[in-house]
Structure 1
Amino acid sequence: MTYQNDFTLPSELLEQIASEGLDFIPTLIEILINAAMQAERSKHLRAIPYERTVQRNGYANGYKPKTVKTRLGELHFEVLLPEEDITGIYRVDVQFMRSVIAATEFTIITR
């Protein structure tokens, strides 16, 4: 079983943050939430995308676009849709995602 444990930001993103400042924050939030959902799916399925293993718990089934309106503007996410797996139904916890965004907004606005 292989998981991607390196969640550091690529240098291209860091350069974009430095050049655009706070205007880049909505895009950064989209990237981080999408990466977190992919990591969550990989953990649930017990395999990274395209990995074949006997421990695999199901299969991925594409993406569904999701738009969330926030104070920072509309954020666009790619919600992952795995097929029903052996142990039960996987669902993305959108409520958790909204609470993370709200906490991030609060932190940004109050500083």
Structure 2
Amino acid sequence: MKNKVLSQLGLAQRAGKLVSGDDIVFKAIRNSQARLVIVAGDASENTKKKFKDKCSTYNVPLVIGFTRDELGESIGKLDRVILGVTDKGFASLMHNGLITMSEVEYIGETREGQ
């Protein structure tokens, strides 16, 4: 399942439905463009808390899992700590796959089931 989700991240990247980096993902969350945010499990505790708070405020599903190397490799870039999926279809597909994974340490749900 892990490889499937990472492959889906690569597809989303090639389709132009993925953003990465703190500032860009924050902007996507604030502008209601982010449908799912993924934070690397090896990100700093401060980064994890910052995105948990922001995603909770804006009602965006958040997943903490994978390593920065795995996330970066899946989208064809160097290590990435933060990814934002901007397409509802990709986000739903990945979210459903991530729920069953043991490698994921945190999944924050939306209040309204967006």
Q: TM-score higher than 0.5 here?
A: no
| TM-score interval (norm. to shorter) | under 0.3
Question: What TM-score comes out, normalization by structure 2 length?
Answer: 0.26
Question: What TM-score comes out, normalization by structure 1 length?
Answer: 0.26
Structure ranking higher on relative contact order (CA contacts 8 Å, 6+ apart): 2
